[in-house]
Structure 1
Amino acid sequence: MIRSAIRFRAIILAGSALVAAIPAHAADETQRDYLGSEIIVTGQRDSYAAEDGSTATKTPTPLINVPQAVTVITSDQIEDQALRNLNDALRFVTGVSLGTGEGHRDQIVLRGQSTTADFYIDGLRDDSQYYRPLYNVERIEVLKGANALIFGRGAGGGAINRVMKTADTMSSLVGADFSVDSFGGFSGAVDLNQPLTDNVALRVTGTYEELNNHRNFYDGRFFGISPTLTAELGPNTRLTASYTYDDDRRVVDRGIPSENGAPLRGFDKVFFGDTRGYNISTNQAHIARARIDHAFSEALSFNASVQFADYDKFYGNILPGALGGPANARTVTLSGYESGTTRQNLIGQANLVAEFATGPARHTLLLGAEAMDQDSTAIRNDVSFGGAGSVTLPLANSFTIPAFTIVPNSQSESSLNTLSFYVQDQIDFGLVQLVAGLRYDRFDLETLNIRNGFAGERVDEKWSPRLGVIVKPTEALSLYASYATSFLPQSGDQFTVLSAVSETLVPEKFENWEAGVKYAITPELVATAAVFQLDRTNTQSPDPANPGQIILTGATRTKGIELSLAGEVTDDLQVTLGYTLLDGKITRTTSSAPAGRELQQVPGHQVSAWARYQLTRQFGIGAGLIHQSSQFTTLTNAVELPSYARVDAALYYDVSPELTFQLNVENLFDATYYPSSHNDNNIQPGEPFNATLSARIKF
């Protein structure tokens, strides 16, 4: 607690020092427009194209001037596709592959880098392992490529940021959404916004879902509620505060095993787990946030945020392993374990943004500081079948799991403290713009392995640069090149326990080189193209000269091309299209695989498309396509997920401006496909044809 107080005092002092440097008369000037223009609660439709690039720079920057590939899923796309959770939304983002996350959490592979931790809420870290809902989300931002200057450690392949809904003091909203699908799942959601005074407004979003799908024995339920308050404390000052409670309970489904290097066929509905209640995941997340924005003048603004999060996660599971036996008497090996994690995060962040000129150059200067204190406890227990760690059963359409006992495996406590300072200058010479910045991170991790008594500690101090060059032949066209880095301490992305080896090793490093073009064909239609190379180094590798020893000579490289088009083609047609070409390989032998192996879950080609066309004032149609070429499940390169294409469709009927009916169909042609895996024998079959009927009320 002493170190926590010191770090947050440092943030407060840093913010105070920044504010103290501001001229006293600055506060009398006009408020900056961008303070009040983020969320408009009118119910009117907007474009699939996004304009706000502030998350990528922490400054008021148009997305077209950000030297980085960014995909934004807007509120209209979320609504049109009836998206309920983050996983479903990210299926339509090329460059992103979805891991199954052991059937209980979000896990993505972004530019070849697998992560369970690079998730953010309004730019603040949200790194616990759980499924993230969308009922209180305004838009989703996928920022690609390493960029520690903005996000700090991790985010080697990029970061996922959810921009949350906020209350609006200017208008009222009453909204409700009810849906039911052909598997028997249903959900209801509310969205209420009410000005309380001329300067204060309250917004409450909430949802309840009963979960179901095509897999045997699968069910679950989710409840979430999120009130948020906006208070205009003066013409130049805004306070936003929110609290979110999410409560999730669902069956943990680890999927199906493989056979002969491919997913096991004919068992897409079979549940390879315990049907008596052991395969269950529960999570309760409490997240409280507050942010204050103040404009001292049109050229000078300050914001400070604080977030406290409390996560309580537990799951148990029986899972499939390798197949065995002769062809006419096949068997499957089952094992199991349970895991629990509690975590409390306290994050503080302060930013000062100044705009000024030096001669012909215009500057947007960012000075910022961030501190984080995180305390976690983690426990894992293994399943024992009469003293054995696994059991072998005949392959069948259902399983009766033999009696088992729980054997303690590991237990740990960890305390993570970070302190960061960063500076960035965006310099506009007219035809050419530069983005240059540097971030300092101090990363202090202490862990205790309660089982063996090992107390580990590591302190890392890293400098992370960012440099971008943007050429602007016209206001609607940006040509850019950029370089940015990130790092990840050698203790996994959840930082629960250190070993005697990981305590001593320097962090892994990520370097992202990128060049691209962004073109606003019209103000509502934007095309982008980018080429990139992402190198990951300092990866653990066995020492050939000293068997059993670890050295940091391993490396991987991901290269690719990304193309996208998003926005309004005509008044009646909205589209979002994307294509990614990826090539990811191990370039120097790691502890996991030798050089030359392809990276896991990196399809060579990805295509996504979604369009909505308004036929009349009342009727609209939608259609979508997801295609991924074949990909390996793991670094063994022994099991391959076959290529697939999934077609979706939608119908929209606006009874009135206040009432809309919507029919969404996933997998219209009932294709058989396997979109994700966790390892060679935990492969998730894709959903067959599924129709969801929704009714939406807004007034």
Structure 2
Amino acid sequence: MFSIFIATFLPDIVFAESSEITKPVTRSYNIPAGSLENALSQFSSQSGVKIFFDDAVIQGKTTQGLAGNYEISAALDQLLKSTDLQPVSHPEGFTIIKLSTESALSPVVTTLPSIKITASSETSRYMAASSSTATKTNTLLRDVPQAISVVTESAIKDQSIRSIADAVRYVPGVGVSQGEGNRDAVIFRGNRSTGDFFVDGIRDDVQYLRDLYNIERIEVLKGPNGMIFGRGGSGGVINRVTKQAGWEPIREFFFQGGSYGLKRMTADFNQPINDQIAFRVNGLFEEAGSFRNGVDSDRLGISPTVTVKPTNRTKVVLNMERYHDDRTADRGIPSFQGRPFDVKHSQFFGDPRRSNSIVDVLSFNSLIEHKFDFGLTVNNRTNYAQFDKFYGNVFANSPVLGSVVSLGAYSDGTDRENVFNQTNFLYSLETGPVAHTLLAGIEVGQQITDNLRRQGLFNNDPRQTSLRVPVINPITNAPIDFVNRNIDANNHSKINITAFYFQDQIEFIPQLQAIVGVRYDLFETDFRDRNGNQDHLKTKDGLLAPRFGLIYKPITPISIYANFSQAYVPRAGEQLTALTVTTETLKPEKFTNLEAGIKWDIRPDLSLTAAAYRIDRTNVITVDPNDASRSFLTKGQRTEGVEVGLNGQLTPHWNVMGGYAYQDGEITSQQFGAPKGNTVAELPRNTFSLWSRYDFIPQFGAAVGVIYRSSMFASTDNTVVIPDFTRVDAALFAQFNKHVRAQLNIENVFDVNYFASVQNNNNIMPGSPIAVRAALIANF
């Protein structure tokens, strides 16, 4: 509890705590007339200030609404106009007090409830209002000139999302690649990536399968993002926002069980220690089988976080994670005569007992942020991580030939150590009528990677790198020796990164804004092949990644934008395993993006977006159509498309998320295995997805999800077609009381046969038959 002296006012109060306000900040608001309670909630989302209030004081009060650009205090004044409430600023934020109808000649001591509040950027279950990822400043999504999809914490819970692949199912323009059963692989607008993953804006590019037990929300930024993220960020990036310790107690325990032996438990515990320190820990345990014969997985994770606020201008966040994933590396089924082989979807090809993927991750992270009284904000993020990964696989490496199929085998081990440090300086100023939000930053980092690949040799024969088996029994028990040959990877690489970037968010007038930025990365590679196939290679690339975006707002809730951006992907890490490394192959890929779109916040809790784009890609790494362990360079490809997204609340009881994407990708130059004019691999022409939840009563709700994907080619040679499919999911929700709720998720309700993802012509992953998962969630 704490006290404050307030003269001439009665003790009926509303309390609101915001982040420290060091200078007037103008934001755009669109809050309709109606309930004051709803209006304050919308104000919280649109301003980034979360408001707690006394229900008895607010009950029955209305507001005339708010539309336009206001400073925070002026916006509150406008919202409370014609009421008997008034905001009063104090060092911690705002106190909104009820005016006395009496003449008070002496001050009254008012004791306020001791409530700690954090900002929230979600305006409904499935809609986020703002993000700090795309610009490194807290910006409304409609004021960012690129397509962004946010998978909120509510969506993660409602859809029972456990992986990156699950998370992007309802994100237009993004698909899932197989990743050889051992890593996250995402198709961003026709561009496959296994490295464009970030945590709180820091690179997390080791190839493994991530869990979301400690994640608050997932942000999918589409198009080249080199200016913000540096190397990579080619067709898009995925940024995971972690759960931070705060001052609202949390005790949540999640228990789930379901089809194919799924057992999953998570815990989320948050406890304020005092007014300056809060502690949070998230934990995970999971065991799961599969509809695929011999395939299973185990996961363990723990992630403690401490937040310290020594002053109201300074925040320190310390976090670590220990994560372990052990699973069968499953590469699916082969093709036959240009289609997936007609076989039971449960049939494994190879040997599941000798196909294992194990990864251990240990990471430490820190954030230090300070707001100076003259308007400058400085923040620093540091990440140190160790990754130890090994996988071996025995798999189909040819199409079915008559009554036989060929199997191959290899193992791969990677040890990596990452260190990144990123410092940002943010400052707002006005030059006459023009307002600027300036960002300047520096990032330094180092990645040290050791990689060893061993070829599988069958039957103790050094010449037998493949083995033919009958398709009626495609499991082999033949002895396999894993040997590092002279032509296999045995690499050591050190990557040093130094980057400088500058950005200006300009508001010429409230209707016209621009974002102009540029980043320079000095990317130094020191590569050594321990097998002695190549000389010791060193390269130094200076990568310049610009971005220019223009935003026109005919009315406040509508933004029309155009954007130009570039990004580079220099060779690093696992890319060097599959290539024959030379000075030529070390040259970076280049991505150039043109995008135009419109964002319309129909209401503060409902958003409609549309975008049209073209991405040109040069010096491309292309996976061999018939051997996923080998890659080659090609000159270029072009992807064009249109996507539409809808997120938010149609009615107070009806929430939706999803969208439609039309995509067309073409190989623009003759290359090995892919003639000019061929279609880009893993790129369906049409995709549609929509998740819809309706709450019939506060205690009971239901949801239905529909996913459609048109046919696509498995690889750039366009010889194998993956059929189209439509899948329906469903869920039921029951709130027994304020502490306990239950959830039932059903995947593939109508048990359709389909193929979820591919890696190449001979590694095609069947989709799961109908699967049921039941969960019980307890909060205390």
Compute the TM-score of the two structures, normalised by the length of structure 1: 0.91
Alignment-derived partner of residue 320 in structure 1: 396
Alignment-derived partner of residue 24 in structure 1: none
Q: Distance in 1 between matches of 2:396 and 2:141?
A: 45
Q: Report the secondary structure of 1:269's partner residue.
A: coil
CA 344–637 in structure 1, closer or farther in 2 if over 3 Å, else same:
same
Q: Report the residue type matching 1:202 in the other structure.
A: F
Alpha-carbon offset, residue 595 of structure 1: 1.0
Alignment-derived partner of residue 367 in structure 1: 440
CA 58–592 in structure 1, closer or farther in 2 if over 3 Å, else same:
farther
Give matches, 1:186-197, under 5 Å: 186-197=263-274
CA 527–513 in structure 1, closer or farther in 2 if over 3 Å, else same:
same
Q: Report the secondary structure of 1:288's partner residue.
A: strand
Contact 1:376/1:496 (8 A) holds in 2: no
Alignment-derived partner of residue 571 in structure 1: 652
Q: Distance in 1 between matches of 2:478 and 2:578?
A: 32
Q: Distance in 1 between matches of 2:315 and 2:573?
A: 38
Alpha-carbon offset, residue 616 of structure 1: 0.8
Q: Report the secondary structure of 1:512's partner residue.
A: strand
Q: 1:412 aligns with which of 481, 487, 491?
A: 491
CA 627–551 in structure 1, closer or farther in 2 if over 3 Å, else same:
closer
Contact 1:31/1:296 (8 A) holds in 2: no
Q: 2:604 aligns with which of 520, 523, 543?
A: 523
Query: Which is worse superposed, 176-185 or 69-78?
Result: 176-185
Q: Report the secondary structure of 1:366's partner residue.
A: strand
CA-to-aligned-CA distance 1:368-411 (integer Å, 9 cap, x gap): 11011010000000110123001101112452321121221331
Q: Distance in 2 between matches of 1:592 and 1:144?
A: 28
Alignment-derived partner of residue 331 in structure 1: 404
Give matches, 1:463-478, under 5 Å: 463-478=544-559
Alignment-derived partner of residue 111 in structure 1: 189
Q: Report the secondary structure of 1:647's partner residue.
A: strand
Q: Distance in 1 between matches of 2:677 and 2:316?
A: 53
CA 123–491 in structure 1, closer or farther in 2 if over 3 Å, else same:
closer
Q: Report the residue type matching 1:81 in the other structure.
A: Q
Q: Distance in 1 between matches of 2:339 and 2:277?
A: 57
CA-to-aligned-CA distance 1:288-314 (integer Å, 9 cap, x gap): 100011111484211100000100000
Contact 1:94/1:608 (8 A) holds in 2: yes
Q: Report the residue type matching 1:181 in the other structure.
A: G
CA 79–162 in structure 1, closer or farther in 2 if over 3 Å, else same:
same
Alignment-derived partner of residue 608 in structure 1: 689
Q: Distance in 1 between matches of 2:672 and 2:568?
A: 19
Alignment-derived partner of residue 448 in structure 1: 528
Give matches, 1:196-235, under 5 Å: 196-235=273-312
Q: Report the secondary structure of 2:274's partner residue.
A: coil
Query: Which is worse superposed, 33-42 or 644-653?
Result: 33-42
Alignment-derived partner of residue 507 in structure 1: 588
Alignment-derived partner of residue 762 in structure 2: 681
Matched, 1:283 2:364: no
Unmatched segments (≥5 aa) in structure 2: 1-19, 26-43, 52-116, 623-630
Alignment-derived partner of residue 427 in structure 2: 354
Query: Which is worse superposed, 403-412 or 239-248?
Result: 403-412
Q: 1:141 aligns with which of 205, 219, 232?
A: 219
Q: Report the residue type matching 2:765 in the other structure.
A: Q
Contact 1:554/1:591 (8 A) holds in 2: no
Alpha-carbon offset, residue 592 of structure 1: 5.0
Alignment-derived partner of residue 516 in structure 2: 436
CA 413–592 in structure 1, closer or farther in 2 if over 3 Å, else same:
farther
Alignment-derived partner of residue 249 in structure 1: 326
Q: Report the secondary structure of 2:697's partner residue.
A: coil
CA-to-aligned-CA distance 1:389-446 (integer Å, 9 cap, x gap): 0110111245232112122133110000010000000110121101101111100001
Alpha-carbon offset, residue 322 of structure 1: 2.2
Q: 1:177 aligns with which of 245, 251, 254?
A: 254
Give matches, 1:32-43, under 5 Å: 40=118
Q: Distance in 1 between matches of 2:482 and 2:131?
A: 50
Alignment-derived partner of residue 425 in structure 1: 504
Alignment-derived partner of residue 376 in structure 1: 449
Q: Report the residue type matching 1:322 in the other structure.
A: S
Matched, 1:127 2:205: yes
CA-to-aligned-CA distance 1:225-266 (integer Å, 9 cap, x gap): 100111112011100110011101011111000111111112
Q: Report the residue type matching 1:86 in the other structure.
A: I
Q: Distance in 2 between matches of 1:298 and 1:494?
A: 46
Unmatched segments (≥5 aa) in structure 1: 1-26, 542-549
Matched, 1:399 2:480: no
Alpha-carbon offset, residue 41 of structure 1: 9.9
Structure whose alpha-carbon radius of gyration is higher: 2
Q: Report the secondary structure of 1:92's partner residue.
A: coil
Greater RCO structure (CA 8 Å; 6+ sep): 1
Query: Which is worse superposed, 179-188 or 451-460?
Result: 451-460
Contact 2:649/2:656 (8 A) holds in 1: yes
Q: Distance in 2 between matches of 1:552 and 1:343?
A: 25
